[in-house]
Amino acid sequence: MTNVKWRFGILAAIIVALFGLYPQFALWHERGANWNGTFASNDLDEPAYAAYLQALIDGRPRKNDPYSGRDETIENPQPESIFSIQFITPYTAAIPARLLGLNASQMFIALSAIASFLTALALFWLLVLITKDNSFAAVGTLIIMFGGALASGNGAINEFFGRGAAYPFLPFLRRYIPAVAFPFFFALFGCVWLALKSQTKSTKYIAAISAGLCFGFLVFSYFYLWTTAAAFLFVLTLLWIVLRPENWKSDLRYLLLIDAVAFLFLLPYAYLLSQRAESTDAIQLLVLTHTPDLLRFTAIVCCISIIFLALAIWLGLTKVKEASTIFLLAFSIVPFIVFNQQIITGRSLQPFHYEFYVVNYITALAVVLTSFLFLKRIQSPRICAAILLIGGLTAVGWGYIEVKLTTRLLISWNVARDEAMPVTKRLAEFAKENEANGKTTVTLNFEYIQADNQPVTSPQAVLWARHQHVFAGVSWEENKERFYQMLYYGGRDAVWLRQDFRNGDIEAYMALFGWDRFNATLSVNARPLTVGEVEQEVRRYDNYYKNFSFEQASRPTLSFAVVPNNLNLDLSNLERWYELGAGENFGAYTLYKLQLKPINR
């Protein structure tokens, strides 16, 4: 068995964990004594995940909607959402959070360190198993963890070459997915290796079952992780049969055992998927297509890796039937499978998620393992040590550049989120006064950032927020009407909306047309918006605005209004239907209690 020197892995994991906390350190430094408790977000989607996590911490059911407040009850069953189906990771965070008395913001801060540390440690273990070199595994861990964005042609490299903003931050660390599940992703590969290479049958069986359990964790965690793992298992099984390494027949039974255990988890998953909301496929941009996708950057890099692997075999650096070679080849083929499965299945689901969050790390892993084939040929220990030292320092240096530039992109957004915390905490206090009605009380929020982040701290429902439509509580049409209502209450008429579109307001485009209509990378069948479509939407809103009635004003009935002090809003429409209480000022916001006027019936 390989002698794993954990001190090497722990050192690498600590470095990765510290870098994972960099955005939080930056926010603390920026806010100083004024910090209100907000977690530093690494990704624009994290508030929705944090809101769902907080709902679970508060004891709400698995099928909850923190934005609309429409949770499942016996009287009102709810369909499945992507959050309720991918439930293992939030419960993995929610249960210890409840035991320790932590809220979602505090848990997200902890996850930055914990997920980084465990992911790096699992990756180190995998690399040691395959290479049997602890020093190389530690350096390789740093290269892969800090080179994930680079492997997909994203991150800081975008800014260097003038291709756009430095985004995303260390992609594996988006919380809570894929961050919480990523250690199990690398652990699965390690368990597969042990199932095939261990010398004892008991270890092989334990490893095989453990690999299957890791797969099960991924299935109910993140679609793009488990499908990538499934692609790897499929390719590895096929290569094992075709290339026939030593003892391939006896080892195949363990590989098939892994596949069988993994398949069992797909049965309940398929059932949950069959119960999804009707709007899920459209909202998640599921596209029917058979078009191949061969030119992804990660696929090109893996193609180069395969060429160098062939060169290594030709030079005698490795043998085609060695397990390490087969694993490397399987890793290198995975991108071609996940980006082109639609050729057979006819379905494509936002494939950029593979490139951003999963396959890029498989690509980096393939590159690192390929480089090891050539590095181990060097006879001089000094030269090897020097190369590893340079590689490690370069990885850390690049990691610093990545976290610094990507953090800088979102720092003002995170500051705005923290500035909104006082008014949100006040809403949470109101909710405690009447916990039974807290989550069904609806607030009117005019500021997009505050609205999207409010459910992370306070249980009240919001009239409209960026991520509201991804939950199952609100249909797409209702989501659009709620956006109309928000504009109406702020005195923003059709003329304003037309100009807002011309100014390129992505919130308006997302709310009224969907995410894919303004961002072509989200769907393989993206359809750019036309001037005619935009004008038609403006006319539709104009009709809604001019015919607004008591029925619209009372559906839903509002209880609070959160008004930004720096926005020029005309609240006369709101005052027509609601009595506004005395406003409470909380820095950048004023909070009003609302009472619907019955005289307008």
Residues 317 and 266 in one domain: no
Residues 554 and 453 in one domain: yes
* Last residue within a domain, chosen from 322, 342, 377: 377
Compute the distance between CA of residue 366 and CA of residue 113 in angstroms, rounded to an integer: 26
Give percent of the chain with pLDDT exceeding 70: 97
Compute the distance between CA of residue 74 and CA of residue 97 in angstroms, rounded to an integer: 27
Beta bridge mates, 155: 167
User: What's the pLDDT score for residue 178?
Assistant: 97
- Band of residue 520 on the pLDDT scale cut at 50, 70, 90: low
144 falls within a domain: no
| Among 467, 446, 472, residue whose Cα is nearest residue 456 | 467
Judge contact between 460 and 69, C-beta under 8 A.
Answer: yes
| Among 90, 54, 314, 130, residue whose Cα is nearest residue 217 | 90
Residues 233 and 332 in one domain: no
- Looking at the predicted structure, is the pLDDT value of residue 291 above 80? yes
Compute the distance between CA of residue 313 and CA of residue 318 in angstroms, rounded to an integer: 5
319 falls within a domain: yes
- Looking at the predicted structure, is the pLDDT value of residue 233 above 60? yes
Mean pLDDT along residues 152-179? 91
Residues 231 and 359 in one domain: no
The total of structural domains in the chain comes to 3
312 falls within a domain: yes
| Among 97, 148, 159, 79, residue whose Cα is nearest residue 120 | 148
Q: Quick: pLDDT tens for 74-108.
A: 999 999 999 999 999 999 999 999 999 999 999 99
Q: Quick: pLDDT tens for 19-48.
A: 999 999 999 999 999 999 999 999 999 999
Compute the distance between CA of residue 90 and CA of residue 96 in angstroms, rounded to an integer: 10
* Other Cβ atoms closer than 10 A to 34: 10
172 falls within a domain: no
Residues 492 and 593 in one domain: yes
157 falls within a domain: no
pLDDT averaged over every residue in the chain: 94
Question: How do beta strands 347-349 and 442-445 pair?
Answer: unpaired
Identify the H or E element spanning 12.
helix 6-20
327 falls within a domain: yes
Residues 478 and 332 in one domain: no
Compute the distance between CA of residue 520 and CA of residue 90 in angstroms, rounded to an integer: 30
Residues 356 and 426 in one domain: no
- Band of residue 136 on the pLDDT scale cut at 50, 70, 90: very high
- Band of residue 491 on the pLDDT scale cut at 50, 70, 90: very high
* Last residue within a domain, chosen from 225, 243, 275: 275
Residue 501 phi/psi, 5° resolution? Answer: -65, -45
169 falls within a domain: no
Residues 316 and 233 in one domain: no
Decide: helix, strand or coil at residue 560: strand
Residues 520 and 558 in one domain: yes
Q: Quick: pLDDT tens for 180-216.
A: 999 999 999 999 999 999 989 999 999 999 999 999 9
Length of the chain, in residues: 601
Q: Quick: pLDDT tens for 306-347.
A: 999 999 999 999 999 999 999 999 999 999 999 999 999 999
DSSP state of 580: E
Decide: helix, strand or coil at residue 444: strand
* Last residue within a domain, chosen from 249, 275, 301: 275
Residues 471 and 498 in one domain: yes
- CA 108, 112, 114, 118 dihedral sign is positive
Q: In b/e form, how buried is each residue of 157-181, taking b as 16+ CB within 10 angstroms?
A: bbbeeeeeebbbbbbbbbbbbbbbb
- Band of residue 246 on the pLDDT scale cut at 50, 70, 90: confident
170 falls within a domain: no
User: What's the pLDDT score for residue 160?
Assistant: 86
Residues 336 and 371 in one domain: yes
Judge contact between 461 and 440, C-beta under 8 A.
Answer: yes
* Model pTM score: 0.95
Residues 474 and 563 in one domain: yes
Domain that holds residue 266: 181-275
Compute the distance between CA of residue 152 and CA of residue 481 in angstroms, rounded to an integer: 38
Residue 67 phi/psi, 5° resolution? Answer: -90, -35
User: What's the pLDDT score for residue 69?
Assistant: 93
Is 450 exposed, middle or buried (CB count within 10 Å of its CB: 0-12, 13-18, 19+)? buried
Compute the distance between CA of residue 314 and CA of residue 248 in angstroms, rounded to an integer: 23
